[in-house]
Structure 1
Amino acid sequence: MVNAEINNARAVYLTAEDLRVASSIIYNSYYDDPFFTEALGAENKLTYSKKLRSAIREELNSLWQQEQALIGLFDESRMVGVACVMTQELPVGEDRYWNWRLKMVLGTGWKSTQSIMEKESCIQDHLPNNNCGVIQFIAISPIEQSKGYGIILANAALSWGEENPSIKGIGVFVNQQDHYDLFLKVGFKPLTEVQISNIKGHLLFVNC
Protein backbone atom coordinates (compact mmCIF):
# COMPACT_ATOMS: atom_id res chain seq x y z
CA MET A 1 0.00 0.00 0.00
CA VAL A 2 2.97 2.29 0.45
CA ASN A 3 3.74 4.29 -2.71
CA ALA A 4 0.23 3.61 -4.02
CA GLU A 5 -3.05 5.44 -4.60
CA ILE A 6 -5.96 4.51 -2.34
CA ASN A 7 -9.31 6.27 -2.63
CA ASN A 8 -7.61 9.47 -3.83
CA ALA A 9 -5.17 9.28 -0.91
CA ARG A 10 -1.51 8.34 -1.43
CA ALA A 11 0.51 6.48 1.18
CA VAL A 12 4.19 7.17 0.53
CA TYR A 13 7.47 7.18 2.41
CA LEU A 14 8.32 10.61 3.76
CA THR A 15 11.23 12.71 2.62
CA ALA A 16 13.38 14.89 4.87
CA GLU A 17 11.38 17.91 3.72
CA ASP A 18 8.17 16.32 5.06
CA LEU A 19 9.36 15.90 8.66
CA ARG A 20 8.32 19.37 9.86
CA VAL A 21 4.71 18.89 8.75
CA ALA A 22 4.70 15.31 10.05
CA SER A 23 5.89 16.57 13.44
CA SER A 24 3.07 19.12 13.55
CA ILE A 25 0.43 16.50 12.72
CA ILE A 26 1.71 14.16 15.43
CA TYR A 27 1.86 17.00 17.97
CA ASN A 28 -1.75 18.02 17.40
CA SER A 29 -2.99 14.43 17.41
CA TYR A 30 -1.11 13.41 20.57
CA TYR A 31 -1.57 16.61 22.57
CA ASP A 32 -4.21 15.03 24.85
CA ASP A 33 -2.73 11.52 24.83
CA PRO A 34 -2.88 10.17 28.42
CA PHE A 35 0.64 8.76 28.31
CA PHE A 36 2.24 12.03 27.25
CA THR A 37 0.21 14.18 29.61
CA GLU A 38 1.36 11.89 32.43
CA ALA A 39 4.99 11.50 31.32
CA LEU A 40 5.63 15.13 30.39
CA GLY A 41 3.45 16.80 33.01
CA ALA A 42 0.53 18.76 31.58
CA GLU A 43 -0.03 21.00 34.60
CA ASN A 44 1.87 23.85 32.97
CA LYS A 45 0.49 24.04 29.42
CA LEU A 46 3.36 26.09 28.01
CA THR A 47 6.04 23.78 29.41
CA TYR A 48 4.08 20.72 28.35
CA SER A 49 3.76 21.99 24.77
CA LYS A 50 7.50 22.62 24.55
CA LYS A 51 8.32 19.17 25.95
CA LEU A 52 5.89 17.41 23.63
CA ARG A 53 7.20 19.20 20.55
CA SER A 54 10.77 18.39 21.57
CA ALA A 55 10.02 14.71 22.22
CA ILE A 56 8.24 14.26 18.89
CA ARG A 57 10.91 16.15 16.95
CA GLU A 58 13.74 14.12 18.49
CA GLU A 59 11.97 10.80 17.94
CA LEU A 60 11.20 11.62 14.28
CA ASN A 61 14.80 12.66 13.66
CA SER A 62 16.06 9.48 15.31
CA LEU A 63 13.75 7.26 13.26
CA TRP A 64 14.74 9.10 10.08
CA GLN A 65 18.47 8.72 10.78
CA GLN A 66 17.99 5.02 11.52
CA GLU A 67 16.09 4.56 8.24
CA GLN A 68 12.90 3.37 9.88
CA ALA A 69 9.51 3.45 8.14
CA LEU A 70 8.01 6.95 8.11
CA ILE A 71 4.81 6.80 6.08
CA GLY A 72 2.84 9.86 5.06
CA LEU A 73 -0.75 9.90 3.85
CA PHE A 74 -1.44 12.61 1.27
CA ASP A 75 -4.64 13.93 -0.24
CA GLU A 76 -3.23 15.46 -3.41
CA SER A 77 -0.36 17.62 -2.10
CA ARG A 78 -1.63 17.87 1.50
CA MET A 79 -0.24 15.56 4.14
CA VAL A 80 -3.23 14.42 6.21
CA GLY A 81 -1.62 11.69 8.29
CA VAL A 82 1.59 9.99 9.29
CA ALA A 83 2.62 6.61 10.71
CA CYS A 84 6.03 5.81 12.17
CA VAL A 85 7.00 2.15 12.45
CA MET A 86 10.28 0.87 13.83
CA THR A 87 11.88 -2.55 13.82
CA GLN A 88 13.33 -4.25 16.87
CA GLU A 89 16.79 -3.75 15.38
CA LEU A 90 16.65 -0.20 16.75
CA PRO A 91 17.71 -0.02 20.43
CA VAL A 92 14.95 1.13 22.77
CA GLY A 93 14.47 1.69 26.47
CA GLU A 94 17.66 1.49 28.49
CA ASP A 95 19.55 0.51 25.32
CA ARG A 96 18.84 3.83 23.58
CA TYR A 97 21.88 5.59 22.09
CA TRP A 98 23.50 8.15 24.38
CA ASN A 99 22.94 11.03 21.95
CA TRP A 100 19.19 10.29 21.84
CA ARG A 101 19.11 10.24 25.63
CA LEU A 102 21.01 13.50 25.89
CA LYS A 103 18.78 15.35 23.45
CA MET A 104 15.61 13.92 24.99
CA VAL A 105 16.73 14.87 28.51
CA LEU A 106 17.58 18.41 27.37
CA GLY A 107 14.19 18.75 25.71
CA THR A 108 11.91 17.00 28.20
CA GLY A 109 13.84 16.38 31.43
CA TRP A 110 15.23 13.20 32.94
CA LYS A 111 12.00 11.97 34.54
CA SER A 112 10.08 12.32 31.28
CA THR A 113 12.85 10.56 29.36
CA GLN A 114 12.73 7.69 31.86
CA SER A 115 8.97 7.36 31.33
CA ILE A 116 9.42 7.20 27.55
CA MET A 117 12.11 4.52 27.90
CA GLU A 118 9.91 2.59 30.34
CA LYS A 119 7.08 2.57 27.80
CA GLU A 120 9.37 1.29 25.04
CA SER A 121 10.81 -1.47 27.23
CA CYS A 122 7.34 -2.54 28.35
CA ILE A 123 6.14 -2.89 24.76
CA GLN A 124 9.23 -4.82 23.68
CA ASP A 125 9.03 -7.16 26.66
CA HIS A 126 5.49 -8.23 25.74
CA LEU A 127 5.96 -8.80 22.00
CA PRO A 128 5.81 -12.47 20.98
CA ASN A 129 9.17 -12.59 19.17
CA ASN A 130 12.23 -10.53 18.25
CA ASN A 131 11.20 -9.88 14.65
CA CYS A 132 8.37 -7.41 15.12
CA GLY A 133 7.64 -3.89 14.09
CA VAL A 134 6.25 -1.36 16.56
CA ILE A 135 4.05 1.59 15.64
CA GLN A 136 5.59 4.53 17.48
CA PHE A 137 3.15 7.13 16.18
CA ILE A 138 0.06 7.05 14.03
CA ALA A 139 -1.73 10.34 13.56
CA ILE A 140 -4.34 12.01 11.40
CA SER A 141 -4.59 15.80 11.27
CA PRO A 142 -7.45 16.78 13.63
CA ILE A 143 -9.38 18.55 10.86
CA GLU A 144 -9.15 15.41 8.67
CA GLN A 145 -10.37 12.89 11.22
CA SER A 146 -13.55 10.81 10.87
CA LYS A 147 -13.01 10.54 7.11
CA GLY A 148 -11.61 7.00 6.98
CA TYR A 149 -7.98 8.10 6.74
CA GLY A 150 -7.04 6.26 9.93
CA ILE A 151 -7.90 2.86 8.48
CA ILE A 152 -6.02 3.66 5.26
CA LEU A 153 -2.94 4.67 7.23
CA ALA A 154 -3.08 1.62 9.51
CA ASN A 155 -3.35 -0.61 6.45
CA ALA A 156 -0.33 1.16 4.95
CA ALA A 157 1.67 0.23 8.06
CA LEU A 158 0.51 -3.37 7.66
CA SER A 159 1.59 -3.36 4.02
CA TRP A 160 5.05 -2.20 5.10
CA GLY A 161 5.26 -5.25 7.38
CA GLU A 162 4.07 -7.60 4.67
CA GLU A 163 6.70 -6.23 2.27
CA ASN A 164 9.51 -7.01 4.75
CA PRO A 165 10.14 -10.78 5.05
CA SER A 166 12.03 -10.34 8.33
CA ILE A 167 8.99 -8.78 10.02
CA LYS A 168 6.73 -11.39 11.62
CA GLY A 169 4.20 -9.01 13.10
CA ILE A 170 3.45 -5.47 14.26
CA GLY A 171 2.56 -4.28 17.74
CA VAL A 172 1.00 -1.06 18.96
CA PHE A 173 0.20 0.34 22.41
CA VAL A 174 -3.17 2.07 22.68
CA ASN A 175 -4.81 3.76 25.65
CA GLN A 176 -7.89 5.28 24.03
CA GLN A 177 -11.03 3.44 22.94
CA ASP A 178 -11.28 4.93 19.44
CA HIS A 179 -7.69 3.88 18.69
CA TYR A 180 -8.41 0.41 20.06
CA ASP A 181 -11.45 0.07 17.80
CA LEU A 182 -9.56 1.30 14.74
CA PHE A 183 -6.81 -1.29 15.04
CA LEU A 184 -9.28 -4.09 15.63
CA LYS A 185 -10.95 -3.16 12.34
CA VAL A 186 -7.72 -3.74 10.37
CA GLY A 187 -6.92 -7.09 11.97
CA PHE A 188 -5.00 -6.40 15.17
CA LYS A 189 -5.78 -8.64 18.15
CA PRO A 190 -5.46 -7.85 21.87
CA LEU A 191 -2.19 -9.30 23.13
CA THR A 192 -2.15 -8.13 26.74
CA GLU A 193 -3.13 -5.32 29.06
CA VAL A 194 -0.20 -3.26 30.33
CA GLN A 195 0.31 -0.44 32.78
CA ILE A 196 3.02 2.17 32.26
CA SER A 197 3.38 4.38 35.32
CA ASN A 198 -0.24 5.30 36.07
CA ILE A 199 -1.51 4.77 32.53
CA LYS A 200 -3.32 1.56 31.64
CA GLY A 201 -3.60 0.44 28.04
CA HIS A 202 -3.61 -2.47 25.64
CA LEU A 203 -0.87 -3.94 23.53
CA LEU A 204 -2.37 -5.04 20.22
CA PHE A 205 -0.63 -7.26 17.70
CA VAL A 206 -1.09 -8.56 14.17
CA ASN A 207 0.88 -11.21 12.33
CA CYS A 208 2.40 -10.25 8.99
Structure 2
Amino acid sequence: MLTASQHADQLTILEVGAEVEREARSLLFHSYSQEPAYQYLLNAEKTGYEQRVRAVIRETINLHFSEQQPVLALYKENRVIGFAFILTPLVTADLYNHFRWRWRMILTAGFSATERFLDYRKQVESILPKQPLHRLAFIAVHPQQQHQGYGLQFMTSIHDYCAKDKTSAGIVLDTGNPRYVTFFEKMGYQRLGNVHVGDITEHVFFRPVTQHETA
Protein backbone atom coordinates (compact mmCIF):
# COMPACT_ATOMS: atom_id res chain seq x y z
CA MET A 1 0.00 0.00 0.00
CA LEU A 2 1.34 3.43 -0.95
CA THR A 3 1.60 5.55 2.19
CA ALA A 4 3.38 8.62 0.84
CA SER A 5 3.49 10.36 -2.49
CA GLN A 6 6.47 9.88 -4.74
CA HIS A 7 9.04 12.65 -4.26
CA ALA A 8 10.83 14.61 -6.96
CA ASP A 9 14.03 12.59 -6.49
CA GLN A 10 12.13 9.34 -7.09
CA LEU A 11 11.64 8.33 -3.47
CA THR A 12 8.60 6.23 -2.61
CA ILE A 13 7.40 4.94 0.76
CA LEU A 14 5.40 1.72 0.82
CA GLU A 15 3.88 -0.34 3.59
CA VAL A 16 5.41 -3.81 3.24
CA GLY A 17 5.10 -7.28 4.72
CA ALA A 18 7.27 -10.22 5.72
CA GLU A 19 8.55 -10.66 2.16
CA VAL A 20 11.16 -7.95 2.93
CA GLU A 21 12.38 -9.63 6.11
CA ARG A 22 15.78 -10.69 4.75
CA GLU A 23 16.56 -7.23 3.38
CA ALA A 24 15.36 -5.59 6.58
CA ARG A 25 17.47 -7.81 8.80
CA SER A 26 20.60 -7.05 6.77
CA LEU A 27 20.09 -3.30 6.74
CA LEU A 28 19.15 -3.09 10.43
CA PHE A 29 22.16 -5.18 11.42
CA HIS A 30 24.58 -2.81 9.69
CA SER A 31 22.92 0.15 11.41
CA TYR A 32 22.34 -1.16 14.92
CA SER A 33 25.57 -3.12 15.36
CA GLN A 34 27.33 0.28 15.41
CA GLU A 35 25.00 1.76 18.04
CA PRO A 36 26.77 2.45 21.37
CA ALA A 37 23.80 1.18 23.42
CA TYR A 38 23.71 -2.13 21.55
CA GLN A 39 27.46 -2.54 21.98
CA TYR A 40 27.07 -2.21 25.74
CA LEU A 41 23.84 -4.16 26.17
CA LEU A 42 24.98 -7.08 24.03
CA ASN A 43 28.55 -7.27 25.36
CA ALA A 44 30.44 -6.15 22.25
CA GLU A 45 33.77 -6.96 23.95
CA LYS A 46 32.87 -10.65 24.14
CA THR A 47 32.99 -13.22 21.35
CA GLY A 48 29.76 -13.57 19.38
CA TYR A 49 28.63 -9.94 19.50
CA GLU A 50 27.47 -9.92 15.86
CA GLN A 51 25.43 -13.08 16.43
CA ARG A 52 23.73 -11.46 19.44
CA VAL A 53 22.85 -8.34 17.45
CA ARG A 54 21.45 -10.51 14.66
CA ALA A 55 19.41 -12.44 17.25
CA VAL A 56 17.82 -9.28 18.69
CA ILE A 57 16.94 -8.01 15.23
CA ARG A 58 15.70 -11.38 13.96
CA GLU A 59 13.50 -12.16 16.97
CA THR A 60 12.09 -8.64 17.18
CA ILE A 61 11.28 -8.52 13.46
CA ASN A 62 9.64 -11.96 13.60
CA LEU A 63 7.44 -10.90 16.50
CA HIS A 64 6.69 -7.57 14.82
CA PHE A 65 5.34 -9.30 11.73
CA SER A 66 3.46 -11.95 13.73
CA GLU A 67 1.71 -9.15 15.66
CA GLN A 68 0.84 -7.52 12.30
CA GLN A 69 2.56 -4.26 13.14
CA PRO A 70 3.28 -1.83 10.27
CA VAL A 71 6.58 -1.67 8.42
CA LEU A 72 7.38 1.13 5.99
CA ALA A 73 10.05 0.75 3.31
CA LEU A 74 11.84 3.65 1.63
CA TYR A 75 12.53 3.06 -2.05
CA LYS A 76 14.84 5.04 -4.30
CA GLU A 77 13.67 4.22 -7.79
CA ASN A 78 13.22 0.41 -7.49
CA ARG A 79 15.71 -0.28 -4.69
CA VAL A 80 14.87 -0.31 -1.00
CA ILE A 81 17.18 1.96 0.98
CA GLY A 82 15.43 2.22 4.34
CA PHE A 83 13.03 0.62 6.80
CA ALA A 84 10.88 1.81 9.69
CA PHE A 85 9.28 -0.67 12.12
CA ILE A 86 6.36 0.97 13.92
CA LEU A 87 4.38 -0.18 16.96
CA THR A 88 0.78 1.03 17.04
CA PRO A 89 -1.16 2.23 20.11
CA LEU A 90 -3.11 -1.04 20.06
CA VAL A 91 0.04 -2.83 21.20
CA THR A 92 -0.50 -1.92 24.83
CA ALA A 93 2.51 -3.85 26.15
CA ASP A 94 6.01 -3.48 24.86
CA LEU A 95 6.83 -6.32 22.46
CA TYR A 96 9.92 -7.09 24.51
CA ASN A 97 7.65 -8.32 27.33
CA HIS A 98 6.35 -11.06 25.05
CA PHE A 99 7.26 -14.49 26.45
CA ARG A 100 8.19 -15.90 23.04
CA TRP A 101 10.62 -13.03 22.43
CA ARG A 102 12.28 -13.50 25.83
CA TRP A 103 12.62 -17.24 25.44
CA ARG A 104 14.04 -17.03 21.92
CA MET A 105 16.46 -14.29 23.02
CA ILE A 106 17.78 -16.37 25.91
CA LEU A 107 18.36 -19.28 23.53
CA THR A 108 20.10 -17.21 20.85
CA ALA A 109 21.67 -14.18 22.55
CA GLY A 110 22.19 -15.59 26.03
CA PHE A 111 20.73 -14.89 29.46
CA SER A 112 23.04 -11.98 30.38
CA ALA A 113 22.43 -10.01 27.18
CA THR A 114 18.68 -10.65 27.39
CA GLU A 115 18.50 -9.40 30.98
CA ARG A 116 20.47 -6.27 30.13
CA PHE A 117 18.25 -5.56 27.16
CA LEU A 118 15.03 -6.09 29.13
CA ASP A 119 16.21 -3.81 31.95
CA TYR A 120 17.00 -1.09 29.44
CA ARG A 121 13.57 -1.40 27.80
CA LYS A 122 11.89 -1.32 31.23
CA GLN A 123 13.62 1.97 32.05
CA VAL A 124 12.54 3.47 28.72
CA GLU A 125 8.94 2.37 29.32
CA SER A 126 8.92 4.07 32.73
CA ILE A 127 9.55 7.45 31.06
CA LEU A 128 6.85 7.26 28.40
CA PRO A 129 3.58 9.22 28.74
CA LYS A 130 0.52 7.24 29.81
CA GLN A 131 -1.22 7.91 26.50
CA PRO A 132 -1.92 5.94 23.31
CA LEU A 133 1.29 6.29 21.32
CA HIS A 134 3.09 5.05 18.26
CA ARG A 135 6.60 3.77 18.91
CA LEU A 136 9.42 3.69 16.43
CA ALA A 137 11.04 0.34 17.18
CA PHE A 138 13.61 0.37 14.36
CA ILE A 139 14.57 2.88 11.69
CA ALA A 140 17.51 2.71 9.29
CA VAL A 141 18.62 4.22 5.99
CA HIS A 142 21.36 2.56 3.97
CA PRO A 143 24.78 4.07 4.87
CA GLN A 144 25.54 4.93 1.24
CA GLN A 145 22.25 6.86 0.98
CA GLN A 146 22.63 9.00 4.10
CA HIS A 147 23.31 12.76 4.28
CA GLN A 148 21.16 13.39 1.21
CA GLY A 149 17.94 14.45 2.93
CA TYR A 150 16.30 11.04 2.56
CA GLY A 151 16.02 10.51 6.31
CA LEU A 152 14.13 13.79 6.67
CA GLN A 153 11.66 12.81 3.95
CA PHE A 154 11.28 9.33 5.43
CA MET A 155 10.53 10.68 8.92
CA THR A 156 7.99 13.14 7.50
CA SER A 157 6.16 10.26 5.83
CA ILE A 158 6.30 8.23 9.06
CA HIS A 159 4.70 11.13 10.92
CA ASP A 160 1.96 11.43 8.30
CA TYR A 161 1.33 7.68 8.44
CA CYS A 162 1.01 7.61 12.24
CA ALA A 163 -1.19 10.73 12.29
CA LYS A 164 -3.88 8.84 10.38
CA ASP A 165 -4.64 7.02 13.64
CA LYS A 166 -6.73 9.58 15.54
CA THR A 167 -6.27 7.71 18.82
CA SER A 168 -2.52 8.36 18.87
CA ALA A 169 -1.06 11.28 20.83
CA GLY A 170 2.23 11.08 18.94
CA ILE A 171 5.40 9.08 18.40
CA VAL A 172 8.11 8.01 20.83
CA LEU A 173 11.63 6.77 20.14
CA ASP A 174 14.98 6.60 21.88
CA THR A 175 18.60 6.95 20.80
CA GLY A 176 22.02 7.11 22.41
CA ASN A 177 23.78 8.19 19.24
CA PRO A 178 24.79 11.88 19.59
CA ARG A 179 24.60 12.53 15.83
CA TYR A 180 20.87 11.75 15.81
CA VAL A 181 19.85 13.93 18.77
CA THR A 182 19.93 17.24 16.89
CA PHE A 183 18.19 15.64 13.90
CA PHE A 184 15.23 14.47 15.97
CA GLU A 185 14.98 17.78 17.79
CA LYS A 186 14.77 19.58 14.45
CA MET A 187 11.96 17.19 13.53
CA GLY A 188 9.93 18.42 16.50
CA TYR A 189 10.82 15.75 19.07
CA GLN A 190 10.93 16.69 22.74
CA ARG A 191 13.17 15.02 25.31
CA LEU A 192 11.19 13.16 27.95
CA GLY A 193 14.16 11.89 29.92
CA ASN A 194 17.32 9.82 29.83
CA VAL A 195 18.29 6.23 30.47
CA HIS A 196 21.87 5.41 31.41
CA VAL A 197 23.23 2.38 29.59
CA GLY A 198 26.69 1.89 31.06
CA ASP A 199 28.56 5.07 30.17
CA ILE A 200 26.02 5.89 27.44
CA THR A 201 23.09 8.27 27.84
CA GLU A 202 20.06 7.09 25.90
CA HIS A 203 17.63 9.94 25.17
CA VAL A 204 13.90 9.22 25.12
CA PHE A 205 11.99 11.47 22.69
CA PHE A 206 8.33 12.26 22.09
CA ARG A 207 6.79 14.07 19.14
CA PRO A 208 3.14 15.09 19.51
CA VAL A 209 0.77 14.93 16.56
CA THR A 210 0.41 18.40 15.01
CA GLN A 211 -2.73 20.04 13.67
CA HIS A 212 -1.27 20.03 10.16
CA GLU A 213 -0.84 16.25 10.22
CA THR A 214 -4.33 15.55 11.53
CA ALA A 215 -6.08 17.91 9.12
Computed over aligned residues only, the root mean square deviation of the Cα atoms, in angstroms, reads 1.8
Q: TM-score if structure 1 supplies the norm length? A: 0.91
Unaligned runs of 5+ in 2: 210-215
Q: Distance in 2 between matches of 1:86 and 1:12?
A: 16
Secondary structure at the residue paired with 2:6? strand
Q: 1:118·1:196 contact (CA, 8 Å) conserved in 2?
A: no
CA distance in 2, matches of 1:3, 1:155: 9
1:91/1:6 CA distance change after superposition, 3 Å: same
State whether structure 2 residue 14 is matched by structure 1 residue 12: yes
Are 1:113 and 2:114 counterparts?
yes
Cα distance in 2 between the residues matched to 1:91 and 1:12:
26
Unaligned runs of 5+ in 1: none
**TM-score normalised by the chain length of structure 2:** 0.88
Q: What is the number of equivalent residue pairs in this alignment?
A: 206
Checking the alignment, whether the CA contact within 8 Å between 2:17 and 2:65 is kept in structure 1 is no
Matched residue type, 1:200: T
The answer as to 2:58 corresponding to 1:61 is no
1:92·1:117 contact (CA, 8 Å) conserved in 2?
no
The structural deviation recorded for 1:197 is 4.4
Find out whether 1:190 has 2:184 as its counterpart.
no
1:88-167 alignment runs, 5 A limit: 88=89, 89-92=91-94, 96-167=97-168
- Cα distance 1:119–1:174, how it changes in 2: closer, same or farther (>3 A)? same
Q: Which whole-Å deviations, capped at 9, do the CAs of 1:139-166 have from their partners, x for residues lacking one?
A: 1111111111111222222112201112
| Amino acid corresponding to residue 14 of structure 2 in structure 1 | V
Partner of 2:206: 205
Q: C-alpha separation between the residues in 1 aligned to 2:208 and 2:30?
A: 30
Report if aligned partners of 1:4, 1:12 keep a CA contact under 8 Å in 2. Answer: no
- Say whether residues 1:41 and 2:43 are aligned partners: yes
For 1:177, the equivalent position in structure 2 comes to 178
1: CA distance, partners of 2:116 / 2:126: 15
Distance 2:142 2:92 in 1: 27
What is the CA distance between 1:200 and its match in structure 2?
1.1
